[in-house]
Structure 1
Amino acid sequence: MTAENTPTASETSAAPDAAAGRVVLLTTSHRVAPGLLSWPAWQLLHSADRVYCADAGHPQLPYLHEAGVTVEHAAPDAHRLVEECAGGRTVVVLPSGEGDRQLTDGLARLAGGGRVRMPDLELLPGSYDLPGARLLDLVQVMDRVRRECPWTSQQTHRGLAKYLIEEAYELVEAIEDGSREELREELGDVLLQVVFHARIAQEGTGEEGDEPFSVDDVAGGLVEKLIHRHPHVFGDETAETAEDVHAHWNRTKAIEKQRASVTDGVPVGQPALALAAKLTSRVRGSELDVPLPSGEGVGYRLLALAASAEAAGTDPEAALRAAARAYRDAIRAAERRTAGTATVEE
């Protein structure tokens, strides 16, 4: 037998009559509190022959130690792991970052070489991200940007207000354009404004000197509101139609807000058509009978049109915007025709 054909230790230990064992990569999510592992993960850790973790500061280690799991702080290469599994043993590796790429690449090369009897290679998620988990990342990133970015750290609620309005309009435009990609992006930009304002409020340094609150307080208040205003979902009431839901929502809001007027809470700074429609909607949903004011001028005619559209279930602001967009497209088409004619004449 020549030197180049001499079996390596891995090849010798992985003889056909020996059990190959298994290597398990146990992954965990940083978005789940350390120590909260699945039952299969705990069973594996307690039954494994060896557990390796190259990162001495891995957040799971204190909990594994408390649970009586022995962890070796080492980064074995692919050959060593294969040898460790000889005889049917189970070796668990807790991935610790980018350095694990060398290990997985090494195992792939050994498996592809065909000269080594490979152990079973498994990937076991020890903890899972729940829906909304990436929101935790957003909060953490926003916190760091607020602390370390010279521009972001100086922003206030009042200074950011114009951006919230701009982002809201861009979101509406994405909805009307029907672009899913733009919709996702613009939703993110609006969400950024919410998280940004909540992060500023957390510092308790607002212009009005109000008490601080966090994004958790914002989310918690929203959860309570949604549950309270949907008793047909979370309680014993029933709602057969969307109109039933809307009526209950308005009744609940009236009790919660204790408003002196049906116009309370209607922002007068919104676009005029939307404002007119909102006011007529409030009146229509109350017991009041307030006729539209009469007068000369386009304003009164627009008010009457907005009221008529709202009563018919049409959003006058969206309708006018759609008409304006159609007019914009017609203008662009005329410009293209004009440019084409000019080119031909030249």
Structure 2
Amino acid sequence: MGYVRPVNASDAPGRIVLLTTSHRVAPGVLSWPAWRALRGADRVLCADADHPQLPYLREAGVEVEQAAPTARELVEYCTGGDLEAAGGAGGGRTVVVITSGEGDRELTDGLARLAGSGRTRMPELELLPGSYDLPGARLLDLVQVMDTIRTECPWSGTQTHEGLAKYGIEEAYELVEAIEAGDRDELREELGDVLLQVVFHARIAQEDPEEPFSIDDVAGTIVEKLIHRHPHVFGEESAETSEDVKAHWLRTKAAEKRRESVTDGIPLGQPALALAAKLASRVRTAGLDVPRPDSAAGGQLGEQLLALAILAERQGTDPEAALRAAARAYRDAIRLAERPD
């Protein structure tokens, strides 16, 4: 239920505040409006005796009652319909209800029915977020779910880095396919599948008896790397073009990993066209004068393909993507040829 304000809100007999909090934010870290509502309330109620906020609220001097009143009981208390409960004050009371993480559907539905009936004198109703998720907070859910699956699923609990390696390759290719197809729904799903592989491998790595590491270590490593390799963003250096950035990136990588050749670190097991384009990119970025293969008619087929890959890279074309596009068109032509006349 969103924010609901009666027609004459200033004359509303009392106030019911449904206070929501995020389990992805440390307990006790609440917004100022939330603290103001809690400290100014006549009663603060929470049905969950184990709610993570309770110890921090009590430490801050906020008295919280464990209670699960019905919608009508809350309305009567705030409006003075139940004068004994309201201390004979005739209404005008404020109650803050700290909701559970899943929300209190029965209570909110009950309040909505009373407000919509037109027969009940209603207090002011407000849904007040006490804490908000930061960007990326749902990643915490993924880590938690992965931990549960690893512990309780018979299949996931026995997987290894080696056994999952093929899935990482498959998911990466499916991601590329979604990008090239321009399918936004597929793109979102495939990004999730790739992210799952990262979290899965990190969870397995936690169990290594000799060199364990966690998803936090993985994230920390890449954060440090990104900051170190972007001095034009986080430091005092400057980069005018993307080529400047790429050149600095390669120099930094070479210094970090003590590489002796620009070809160091290029995985030779990747698809051949991608490998050729990667080598050509390193040569061009390093400004090396390397003789190109002879692609003239009669030359070796491999040399001709290599020359085409180098040419594509120089023209800013991904030869792998270009060949896949041509292959898809060829597939469509095959399917057309297979149709009966």
The separation in 2 between residues aligned to 1:333 and 1:182, in whole angstroms, is 26
Deviations 1:162-200 (A, max 9, x none): 000000001101111110000001111000001011111
Instruction: Provide the residue aligned with 1:67 in structure 2.
Output: 60
TM norm structure 1 = 0.88
Aligned to 1:20: 13
User: What is the percent sequence identity of the aligned residues?
Assistant: 78
Query: Normalised by the size of structure 2, how large is the TM-score?
Result: 0.89
- Residue 39 of structure 1: CA displacement? 1.3
Match of 1:53 among 34, 46, 54: 46
**Unpaired segments ≥5 residues, structure 2:** 1-10, 80-90
Q: Which amino acid aligns with 1:304?
A: A
After superposition, the C-alpha distances for 1:216-252 in whole angstroms (9 at most, x for unaligned) are 1111111111111112221222222222222222222
Between 297-306 and 119-128, the greater mean CA deviation after superposition: 297-306
Partner in structure 2 of residue 244 of structure 1: 244
Q: How many Å apart are 1:296 and its aligned residue?
A: 4.2
Work out whether 1:82 is the aligned partner of 2:75.
Answer: yes
Count of residues paired in the alignment: 317
Query: What pairs up with 1:224-235 in 2 under 5 angstroms?
Result: 224-235=224-235
Residue 268 (structure 1) aligns with? 268
What is the 5 A alignment of 1:85-104? 85-86=78-79, 87-96=91-100, 100-104=104-108
Counterpart of 2:164 in structure 1 is 160
User: For 1:285, what is the secondary structure of its paired residue?
Assistant: helix
CA deviations over 1:131-157 (Å, ceiling 9, x no partner): 101100000000010111111111111
Contact kept, 8 Å, 2:293 with 2:304, in 1: the verdict is no
Moved more, 150-159 or 309-318: 309-318
The answer for the alignment partner of 2:280 in structure 1 is 280
Question: Does residue 119 of structure 2 align to residue 115 of structure 1?
Answer: yes
CA distance in 2, matches of 1:288, 1:326: 36
Cα offset, 1:116, TM superposition: 1.4
What is the CA–CA distance in structure 2 between the aligned matches of 1:96 and 1:131, rounded to whole Å?
22
Amino acid in the other structure paired with 1:254: A
| Matched residue, 2:329 | 326
Partner Cα separation in structure 1 for residue 179 and residue 206 of structure 2 = 32
Q: Does 1:183 align with 2:219?
A: no
- CA shift, 1:297, in A, is 2.2
The counterpart of 1:39, out of the listed 13, 32, 56, is 32
1:293 deviates by 5.0
Distance 1:213 1:272 in 2: 33
1:256-304, CA deviations, whole angstroms, 9 ceiling, x for partnerless residues?
A: 2210222111001100011111112222222533324569421111111
Kindly provide the amino acid, as one letter, of the partner of residue 200 in structure 1. I
SS of equivalent residue, structure 1 residue 219:
helix
Q: Distance in 2 between matches of 1:162 and 1:237?
A: 40
Distance 2:55 2:217 in 1: 31
* SS state at 1:194 partner: helix
Cα contact 2:19–2:128 (8 A) shared by 1 = yes
Quick check: 2:313–2:319 contact (8 Å CA) kept in 1? yes
Of the three residues 208, 227, 230, the one matched with 1:204 is 208
CA offsets, 1:288-328, max 9 Å, x none? 33324569421111111111111221111111111111111
Letter in 1 for 2:183: S
Structure 1 equivalent of residue 313 of structure 2: 310
Unmatched runs of 5 consecutive residues or more in structure 1: 1-17, 342-346
Deviations 1:56-85 (A, max 9, x none): 011101011101111110101111101221
Aligned partner of 1:124 in structure 2 is: 128
Q: 1: CA distance between counterparts of 2:283 and 2:102? A: 62
